[in-house]
Amino acid sequence: MKSIYGVTIAQLEEYFLSKKQGKFKATQVFEWLYKKRVKDFSKMMNVGKENILRLQEDFSLEPLKLLTKKSDVDVSKYLFALEDGNRIEAVLMNHDYGNSLCISTQVGCNMGCHFCESGRLKKVRNLEASEMVRQILAVEEEEQIRISHIVLMGIGEPFDNYQEVMNFIDIVNTPKGMDIGIRHITVSTSGIIPKIRAFAEDQKQVNLAISLHAPNNEIRNQIMEINKAYPIEQLIEAVRYYYEKTKRRVTFEYILLKGVNDSRENARELSRLLKGINCYVNLIPYNETSHIEYKKSDKETILAFYDELKKNHIAVTIRREFGSKVNAACGQLRSNYKEE
């Protein structure tokens, strides 16, 4: 049975119209689901008995099952079981600007990033929009909070599951629903160029983050398999196209790997690559895992890299480190749980 949490408001309007009902019923249902958090169709008092029976026949309200949770200062990580027995993760980060949840979009990942724990367990399937929405609902209920920001940067490549991700964005952004601001949503991609261009055409005003992690093809080919299909110069061209269409600043994510991509010369080369692009670079200290040989750059190297970018007029931040004590590397909790 299809989960109601994967249905956009436009799709629900079509559903009610097909039942010879007013499409305003969709708004009423969305308010019950996401404003009042009702988990039983029979409690949707203004929807009508006949519509309640229809909804009960056609849709499920099943939540995700929380398997385990690990917490540290300002961060909690959750492992969920899906109906088919697969497992996914979400990470809650408490910032001064609000509660940000990093969610998964696939079970496993086929992008082949050598430093990433998620890619070690290959893609099993795409998540449905409902399974993304229910990650948010489950964390909000567990913590008794409201999520203000969403990052699609957990297990999986969002643009390898494009339509379900777009449906998810529509559901959580709907004013009568969860009403999470469109500019409070960030989608991260390792660089699927056709989908970056499609995203530009959709002009959703969502934040776009590019997992770059290297200043040239030689290094990127070594650490990211996707670069062999979509080389770095083509990726930069697609980013420029995205900016031309949307006028939205792009974030470049750059994980610093000791002795691989973290030298001053790498920083200078990155500066040349990004020159003229309205962007900023988010430097990320690596979260080491027991399964992967890459190591975290030392603090002095990270600061030197940062200084070199600043000197070359590249906007740059160093991401605050979260959750080294809670298996916070993407896919790490799922991987460890699977092996246990």
Q: Which of 14, 225, 330, 339 is catalytic?
A: 330
The secondary structure of residue 70, as a DSSP letter, is E
Give yes or no: 330 in active site.
Answer: yes
Domain locations in the chain as residue ranges:
2-60, 65-339
Over residues 173-195, the pLDDT tens digits come to 999 999 999 999 999 999 999 99
**Higher pLDDT pick, 336 / 43:** 43
pLDDT for 254 equals 98
Q: Which of 50, 62, 89, 218 is catalytic?
A: 89
- Give the dihedral sign, CA 33/38/40/41: negative
The secondary structure of residue 38, as a DSSP letter, is -
Q: How far apart are CA 281 and CA 213, in angstroms?
A: 10
Q: Which residues contact 213 (CB under 8 A, 6 or more apart)?
A: 113, 115, 220, 223, 224, 253, 254, 255, 257, 261
The residue-averaged pLDDT of 101-111 equals 96
Over residues 242-276, the pLDDT tens digits come to 999 999 999 999 999 999 999 999 999 999 999 99
Is the CATH code 2.50.20.10 the one for domain 65-339?
no
CATH-assigned architecture of domain 2-60: Orthogonal Bundle (1.10)
Common-topology check for domains 2-60 and 65-339: no
pLDDT for 337 equals 47
| Nearest C-alpha neighbor of 131 from the set 95, 97, 100, 156 | 156
For the chain, give the mean pLDDT: 93
326: confidence class by pLDDT, cuts 50, 70, 90: low
pLDDT for 122 equals 86
pLDDT for 327 equals 52
Over residues 88-102, the pLDDT tens digits come to 999 999 999 999 999
324: confidence class by pLDDT, cuts 50, 70, 90: low
Question: CA dist 337 to 80, 85, 122, 292, Å?
Answer: 11, 13, 16, 17
What are 178's strand-pairing partners?
Answer: none
**Higher pLDDT pick, 292 / 329:** 292
The residue-averaged pLDDT of 330-335 equals 49
Q: How many helices (H) and strands (E) does the chain have?
A: 11, 14
82: confidence class by pLDDT, cuts 50, 70, 90: very high
Residue 335 has pLDDT above 60, yes or no: no
Q: How far apart are CA 190 and CA 7, in angstroms?
A: 27
